Amino acid sequence: MKQQSFADVEYGGRRKISKREQFLDIMEEIIPWDEWVNLVQPHYNTGKSGRPPLGIEKMLRMYLLQAWFSLSDEGVEDAVYDSYSMRKFMKLDFVKENVPDATTLLHFRRILEESALGKAMFEAINRVLEENGYFMRGGTIVDATIISAPPSVKNADKKRDEEMSSTRKGSDWHFGMKAHVGVDAGTA
Instruction: Please give the Cα distance from 54 to 113 (Å, whole number).
Output: 18
> Would you say residue 122 lies in a domain?
yes
The pLDDT value given to residue 29: 87
The answer to whether residues 29 and 46 belong to one domain is yes
146 beta partners = 178
The answer for residues whose C-beta is within 8 angstroms of residue 162's C-beta and 6 or more apart is: none
> Would you say residue 119 lies in a domain?
yes
> Would you say residue 126 lies in a domain?
yes
Share of the chain above pLDDT 90, in %: 5
The answer to whether residues 116 and 165 belong to one domain is no
- Which of 131, 151, 166 is the endpoint of a domain? 131
- Which of 131, 150, 172 is the endpoint of a domain? 131
pLDDT in tens, 102-153: 888 888 888 888 888 888 888 888 888 778 776 666 667 777 788 877 766 5
Q: Which of 154-158, 159-163, 169-173 has the lowest mean pLDDT?
A: 154-158
pLDDT in tens, 164-181: 778 887 888 888 887 877
> Would you say residue 65 lies in a domain?
yes
Q: Judge if pTM exceeds 0.95.
A: no
The answer to whether residues 175 and 126 belong to one domain is no
Which amino acid belongs to residue 67? A
| Counted domains in the chain | 2
Domain that holds residue 174: 140-184
The answer to whether residues 54 and 116 belong to one domain is yes
Instruction: Please give the Cα distance from 54 to 16 (Å, whole number).
Output: 33
| C-beta separation of 59 from 105 below 8 A | yes
> Would you say residue 1 lies in a domain?
no
Q: What is the mean pLDDT of the chain?
A: 79
Q: What CA–CA distances, in Å, run from 32 to 19, 126, 128, 147? A: 22, 10, 7, 50
